[in-house]
Amino acid sequence: MYNPDWLRYCKRMVRAGLGTDHLLRPELRIDTRRIGSAYGGWIVAPGPLATARPPVVLSFGLGDDISFDEAIIQYHNARVYGFDPTPASLAWIAAKGTPANMQVVPIGLAAFDGQQSFSIPRNETRGNFSCKQAAGTSVVCKVKRYDSILAMLDLDHVDVLKLDVEGSEYDVIPDVLASSTLPVQFLIEFHHRIHNIHVAATRKSVDLIKRAGFSLFAVSPGGQELSFIRN
């Protein structure tokens, strides 16, 4: 029987042999649930979310898919703060609308407070702007550090922190981990193989996350979306 996930893993094994994939596996067995669309969904641990009242979710990088944010509100009555500073995403979200429990904040995440330039290739159709992209259409957007955003929102607890920030994760992960307000669950899309980012950068980031007291509990079939939970 055809198994697309197995085929993707076989391709990853080939890439690992070429030094472009990590082949990391979950180290913790807990109940999991994938929520959201095939494109924008994430794997979460529902147990901790069931006991939070209500769960607080920071969702960085919305693009043109907020199915994860909608689903975590539907299933867990979460309070979601969604962040995306790019005009294309904000226009799409304004036209679509958001659930009552979701607040959209037009700010990006960075390791500093200020302004940052984001670019997108002219042939990109989904509006995935990146500060690692050197050519194409550019916009300058407001960005803030993780702790600055917590202070702005008056938050002292985060149940889920989701990062889909098109390569910026490597810069912001150390800054997030230095905070006294670590999330319970940390969901990250890593962008090795894109923007000339080597897989070694992903391995280094994963090591930092584990040393901060998190365990890896889920890896997507493509190996780029990783889910961690704080021990």
Instruction: Please report the domains of the chain, with CATH numbers, ordered by start residue.
Output: 25-106+146-230 (3.40.50.150)
Mean pLDDT, residues 100-126: 86
Residue 78 has pLDDT above 60, yes or no: yes
Residue 137: the pLDDT is 77
Residue 202: the pLDDT is 93
Contacts (Cβ under 8 Å, ≥6 apart) of 191: 130, 132, 166, 167, 169, 197, 224
Calculate what percentage of the chain has a pLDDT beyond 70: 84
pLDDT category at 125 given cuts 50, 70, 90 is low
pLDDT category at 19 given cuts 50, 70, 90 is low
User: Which has more pLDDT, 180 or 122?
Assistant: 180
Lowest-confidence segment of 43-57, 74-88, 134-148, 176-190 by average pLDDT: 134-148
- C-alpha distances out from residue 33 to 36, 109, 127, 220, 224, Å: 10, 26, 27, 12, 17
pTM for the whole thing? 0.90
Residue 139: the pLDDT is 84
Residue 199: the pLDDT is 87
Query: What does the alpha-carbon distance between residue 105 and residue 222 come to, in Å, rounded to a whole number?
Result: 29
